[in-house]
Amino acid sequence: MKFAILVNEGPYQHQAADTAFNFTKAALEKGHEIVRVFFYHDGVNNGTRLTTPPQDDRNIVNLWSELAKEHDLDLVVCVAAAQRRGIVDEDEAKRHGKDANNIAEGFRISGLGQLIEMGIKADRLMAFGD
Amino acid sequence: MSDAAKKFMYVNRRAPYGTVYALEGLEVVLIGAAFDQDVCMAFIDDGVFQLKKGQDTKDSNMKNFSPTYRALGDYEVTKLYVDKESLEQRGLGEDDLMDLTYEDEDDDYNEKPSIRIVSRDELADLMEQQDVILNY
Amino acid sequence: MLHTINKSPFEKNSLDTCLRLAKPGSEILLLEDGVYAAVKGTAVEQKMVQALGDYTVYALGPDLKARGIEEDRLIDGVEVVGYDGFVDLAANSDRVQSWL
């Protein structure tokens, strides 16, 4: 079965990011396909590589990056939500004259159309948020 | 609309301004309109406050996005279901809501109301008919 | 149809709205702070016992454990599932509504 995952909250602030990650991992382990993981609202904060949690805590950003690498996942950060919250990749940084970018490995920035598209392509869309 | 169109329901349960969910939720609806799916919106709990008439953010320095709801008809988002009980619980009636309309292309472009006040049973039935339900 | 609730019933009205709008025969999964609704002896117990007549109610085990809720404290009839069970519930339902 094809699942699409929507993550609407940032890591640490709300458990939604952890739940979404655990669900995604369990679905993959059961042999399901993950069409895409889309990060919206404060969920875009899952995609900044500048995240530095204390050493005795999980690093949610790295967990996503590693899972994406292992399973070739498509992790998409919404561009409009990302711009509001200061998540940028190299292209976005250039376009808006910013002096740095902070997108984490395995994530890409794209439009909201990717959210609708994954809803069309997947058998089930799972929303995780506050 | 193609036969392969999926039924999308956007469920709004948050008031505007206090959090960003209503505004960013509306952005999804507008982008989604380009995908030619069978779309409707549901306003439940505090979501009904999004449709309140007379929103004015001048003095709070926030972006007033309430005019965008008026444009939904042009985007062919013409089914806005409002939960009757949520309205009543909040002391609101249909007259308190914005006057939202669309032009019905199947009926000589007559202007028709987009807002439909529905009972809990109607809303429950509508939910069961959807393929994708998105919540804000 | 699967409904998920991730809010404490003592803080938000997600449980009430879900119970009002979910059709009998649906599945309800309590997760995150939603699991507090599954516990015996609370102010919402009666509501949950009644709901168990209309719905199959599940609680996410890892979230119960994280909050120190032992399974013998759960209202009779509430079934405990893990993330794999959550995936199965979603896969076996025609659609999912998360009462965020």
pLDDT per residue, tens digit, chain B (136 aa), is 555 799 999 999 999 999 999 999 999 999 999 999 999 999 999 999 999 999 999 999 999 999 999 999 999 999 999 999 999 999 999 999 999 999 999 999 999 999 999 999 999 999 999 999 999 8
- pLDDT at position A35 is 98
Domains of chain B: residue spans and CATH: 7-135 (3.40.1260.10)
Among the listed residues B50, B38, B63, B36, the one whose alpha carbon sits nearest the alpha carbon of residue B90: B50
Domains of chain A: residue spans and CATH: 2-128 (3.40.1260.10)
C-alpha span between B112 and B115 (Å, rounded): 9
Cβ distance of B124 and C22 shorter than 8 Å: yes
Place of tokens 């444009």: B71
> pLDDT tens digits, residue range A47-105?
999 999 999 999 999 999 999 999 999 999 999 999 999 999 999 999 999 999 999 99
A3 carries an active-site annotation: no
Token code pair at residue B114: 């987009």
C-alpha span between A8 and B25 (Å, rounded): 11
| CB < 8 Å from A in window 33-52 of B | 34-35, 37
Cβ distance of A26 and C87 shorter than 8 Å: yes
> pLDDT tens digits, residue range C28-73?
999 999 999 999 999 999 999 999 999 999 999 999 999 999 999 9
Among the listed residues C85, C59, C52, the one whose alpha carbon sits nearest the alpha carbon of residue C73: C59
Q: What angle do CA B136, A33, B130 make, to 5 degrees?
A: 40
Q: How many CB atoms lie within 10 A of CB C43?
A: 8
Please state whether beta strands B101-104 and B110-113 pair in parallel, antiparallel, or not at all (unpaired).
Answer: antiparallel
Q: How far is B32 from chain A (nearest CA, A)?
A: 6
Which of the other chains make 3 or more beta carbon contacts under 8 angstroms with chain B? A, C
Whole-number Cα distances in Å, A33 to A24, A73, A122, B61, C28: 9, 9, 9, 44, 24
C-alpha span between C41 and C57 (Å, rounded): 17
Whole-number Cα distances in Å, A51 to A22, B8, B45: 19, 34, 35
Exposure string over B35-68, b if 16+ CB within 10 A, otherwise e: eebbbbbbbbbbbbbbbeeebeeeeeeeeebbee
Domains of chain C: residue spans and CATH: 2-99 (3.40.1260.10)
3-class state of residue B131 by DSSP: coil
Q: How far is B121 from chain A (nearest CA, A)?
A: 24
Contact A41, A11 (CB under 8 A): no
